[in-house]
Structure 1
Amino acid sequence: MRGSRCLTVATALLTLVALKAYIEWTAEEEERFPTPHGAGWHSSPITPAQPSKEEALVFIPQHFNASMQQLRQSIPRAKAYWNEKQHRIFRVLEGDLEGNASRDECFGSRAADKASKIKDFGSYSELYRNFILYDECRTFPLLINQPTKCISSGKNHTFLLLAIKSLPGNFAARQAVRDTWGQEGAPGGLPIRTVFLLGTAQGRSGPRLQRLVDYESQLFGDILMWDFEDTFFNLTLKDNLFLNWTLEYCRDVSFILKGDDDVFINTPKVLDYLGSLDVQKPLYMGQVMANASPFRIRKSKYYVPESYYVGPYPSYAGGGGYIFSGSLARWLHFVSRHIAFYPIDDVYTGLCFQALGIHPETHPGFQTFDIAEKDREDPCVHRKLLLVHRRSPQQTLQLWKRITDSELRC
């Protein structure tokens, strides 16, 4: 009971300090980039129907106190590396331990100390071991930037930002996206922008692709590349760095669609759906995974050892593709500083949203595990969907041509 009260007080103080700093920062930023639709939104009966900006800014911190408590209670106290690490963060928030509750330092030099905390650390794959040794590292140089991506006619506003995770060598996949559902423009007055999120080429002995990606960026102006090794376990890091970029260069975006470069997105239908929503209501939507647990099969790329994590997963939207409100980017970035990095990126995103008290909304138009074999070539089926995973560049080009054909009758 005492620990619970301490956590409530400590978290309340923390959020009030963060709120004050954020309001001051917002006031400065508004002078540079006026927000066209304001920062106010509501999603709870306890929130006024038309909240003022100040009331809206308090909304998330109010939920944060209770939702962090719920998150703490949902994570088992077990002798597993991640569980112990996260509960240590909670104890720092409580004031029972000294330390920095914000996780923004790199402790890669403490390799021996980290390895000693996992009894079977030597049995982990090299990529897994590297993730653990450097899971505090959250600052990496931005090698290729697009600082004006969201600026149009002197204004910093984008309705839908397509943030597509890609690998340096996936040139054909990126081009297929540009030629189809990732085309930029402003259909119906709703500006769409596209960025591809990349790390550097995987492995010290891999092909040198930097010059090719540089040239691609010069041609199309849609590449964001950071100086970290682009591996599956670093997708959480990629998401975090993208949030940093969004707050710096695209802070007034209405909606963000995060997806892989092998999904097929029915952009017109996505715009129709989002255009019907109240942009002030926070949204986290996709194909929701509920009651999921870690994979314990070593051959699976989603494998999580029991010595690393014990417990169920929160409900989360599948990482193949999901949408969230742009106004939530600042709060996701804030709360991520108090959630230890997890090697499965969509699970980590679900943890962060849970800490904010926001639950994922399921939408039948998201099919991140593909659809029935008999429907995979049917343009009428795809015309009803918002997103399906996965399609080759050739399939993407053919499907786009067919669903956008004005003579198609379904």
Structure 2
Amino acid sequence: MMFVNMRRIRKCKVLQIILMCLATSMIMMYWEQLDNKIVTHVKSYTYRYFPNSFKFINASFRVSPKEAIKFSNHRYIINQQRKCVKRDILLLLFVKSSTENFGRRQAIRSTWGNEAYIERTLGVTVKVLFAVGLHPEPQQRRTLQLQLFFEDQIYHDLIQQDFIDSFHNLTLKLLLQLGWKETFCRHAQFLMSADDDVFVHIPNLVHYLQGIARSNAEDLWIGRVHSGSPPERDKKSKYYVSRDMYPWMSYPDYTPGSGYVLSKGVATKIYQASLTLNASLHIDDVFLGICAKMLGISPKNHLFFSGEGKAPYHRCIYNQMMTSHGHVRDIFEMWNLATEPDVGQMSSGLFWRLYCTMVKVRLLCIPFSSVSYPCKAAFWT
């Protein structure tokens, strides 16, 4: 009888080994496609494996302080100077918005950006602000500006400077965020920047940042890291960067502007570095990477910051997600699903962990797909 049982046990072990080998082979076969997730302007080729100090880039972007200040020396049209009077602020969260996107701002105020909900439910202070510039069309600017003033009278959460709000001025919007934190909210422990079509899983993010704060870790920059991404040379692309502006084969490591977090020390250092560099490069997340590289600061990759993709709808994903990109009409639905009380129970117990791993493999490990998180996130705990 024991001999029969031993034979069964050996067969089970052999079967397990075979299945593991098959799974490993599949992952290795498609690893480059699974890991890179080639989407829009992000194309991580083998440049990522080249050792590179990027010192030549730092030298080429340096300008005099007098020349550099013109990029960040914009006048405030709307400001909230007393937003951060409370000293104990875990996170200052800037949402990059446009003047006409009132609906998006309203949806964020009602869901993940609701400061009162965060303080009442999570017991921490998070300050949420919307960064905007001037509407690019003069004919619409006056009407939208009046609407913006009215909106600010109600919500007191808009920060506006007098630069034209366009894709090619995103670096100016980055400098707005860094400069405002440095001037009015320097004591906030973390700074987050996100787009207004991004869903932020605030409970998960808050718990994660609280853990970092308790560990007293410094010089942190967290997001979905892109390594070795080459500049876009297609003139038809909005991400086009000329060789005159950036002649090299690849960018320093950076995190997409859709959502990332900086510790307060890093935010201060990067702001100070930006005051010595030419900020005419309009790819704001790349400019942030150049500033950080000059300081010797590298981003930390978090597999559940989505970069540019939208997260799959499933409880096993909600339990770990930090951000998901591309939410406008479905933001209320995502908020209700992701914050259901029983979602947190999915991680308890061996059975649920195994179940969720299998679910995430099915959702994330699809060859050549453009889902939000890489395949290896399925095995991340």
Report the structure number with the largest CA radius of gyration: 2
Mind listing any 5+ residue stretches in structure 2 that lack a counterpart? 1-51, 347-381
Q: How many residues align?
A: 286
Secondary structure of 1:217's counterpart equals helix
TM-score with structure 2 setting the length: 0.71
Rounded Cα–Cα distance in structure 2 between residues aligned with 1:239 and 1:395: 27
Tell me the equivalent position of 1:147: 81
Work out whether 1:347 is the aligned partner of 2:283.
no
Secondary structure of 1:291's counterpart equals coil
Work out whether 1:381 is the aligned partner of 2:381.
no
Compared CA separation, residues 297 and 246, structure 1 to 2 (3 A): same
Work out whether 1:367 is the aligned partner of 2:331.
no
Work out whether 1:164 is the aligned partner of 2:98.
no
Deviation of the 1:202 alpha carbon: 1.5
Alpha carbons 1:294, 1:303 under 8 Å: kept: yes
Mind listing any 5+ residue stretches in structure 1 that lack a counterpart? 1-68, 78-82, 90-99, 106-135
Q: Give the counterpart letter for 1:215 in structure 2.
A: F
Rounded Cα–Cα distance in structure 1 between residues aligned with 2:73 and 2:308: 33
Deviation of the 1:281 alpha carbon: 1.5
Q: Give the counterpart letter for 1:169 in structure 2.
A: E
For the aligned residues, what is the CA RMSD? Answer: 2.1
Work out whether 1:103 is the aligned partner of 2:42.
no
Tell me the equivalent position of 2:241: 304
Rounded Cα–Cα distance in structure 2 between residues aligned with 1:191 and 1:355: 32
Deviations 1:192-237, CA, capped at 9 Å, x for gaps: 1100000011122335211111111111111001111101111111
Rounded Cα–Cα distance in structure 2 between residues aligned with 1:279 and 1:71: 29
Q: Bigger CA drift: 307-316 or 259-268? A: 307-316
Rounded Cα–Cα distance in structure 1 between residues aligned with 2:108 and 2:255: 22
Work out whether 1:330 is the aligned partner of 2:330.
no
Deviation of the 1:327 alpha carbon: 2.3
Secondary structure of 1:163's counterpart equals strand
TM-score with structure 1 setting the length: 0.66
Secondary structure of 1:242's counterpart equals helix
Compared CA separation, residues 221 and 370, structure 1 to 2 (3 A): same
Rounded Cα–Cα distance in structure 2 between residues aligned with 1:228 and 1:287: 28
Deviation of the 1:330 alpha carbon: 2.1
Alpha carbons 2:310, 2:326 under 8 Å: kept: no
Higher relative contact order (CA 8 A, sep 6+): 2
Tell me the equivalent position of 1:285: 222
Deviations 1:150-173, CA, capped at 9 Å, x for gaps: 123xxx331111111000000111
Matches within 5 A, 1:5-404: 70-74=53-57, 83=60, 86=61, 89=63, 100-105=64-69, 136-152=70-86, 156-185=87-116, 186=119, 187-207=121-141, 208-277=143-212, 278-311=215-248, 312-341=250-279, 342-371=281-310, 375=312, 377-392=313-328, 394-404=329-339
Compared CA separation, residues 371 and 223, structure 1 to 2 (3 A): closer
Q: Judging by fraction of residues, say which structure has more helix.
A: 2
Rounded Cα–Cα distance in structure 2 between residues aligned with 1:163 and 1:215: 20
Deviations 1:24-50, CA, capped at 9 Å, x for gaps: xxxxxxxxxxxxxxxxxxxxxxxxxxx
Q: Give the counterpart letter for 1:340 in structure 2.
A: N
Deviation of the 1:71 alpha carbon: 4.0
Rounded Cα–Cα distance in structure 2 between residues aligned with 1:286 and 1:181: 18
Secondary structure of 2:163's counterpart equals strand
